[in-house]
Amino acid sequence: MEGHAWIVNVARGRHIVTDDLVWALTNGVIGGAALDVTDPEPLPDDHPLWSLPNCIITPHVGNTPDMAVPLLSERIAVNVRRFASGDDLLGPIHVELGY
């Protein structure tokens, strides 16, 4: 890929070798990455992709309403149970970090 090219992945996280992507982004081999899926998913909080200015990560929302509604409903139900039992929520939003 050329240095100005961006890679976009809305399919499967494993289609991209994550360590190689981090290297390519860090070393300017490619211009950037826009990822709706990652490997691993979810990314650990300390993963280097979170801090790269040329990487945009969305919360796995690149799907159709027919696919999203059941998944969202399940996530809400799970998080309500987790909240009620005092457990950490899945997929928290960190406004201060911009996501």
Q: How far apart are CA 86 and CA 51, in angstroms?
A: 29
Cα–Cα distance for residue pair 54/35, rounded to 1 Å: 11
DSSP secondary structure, 34-77, as one string? EESS-SSSSPPTT-GGGG-TTEEE--S--S-HHHHHHHHHHHHH
The tokens describing 55, both together, are 């990487």
User: What is the set of active-site residues?
Assistant: 12, 41, 60
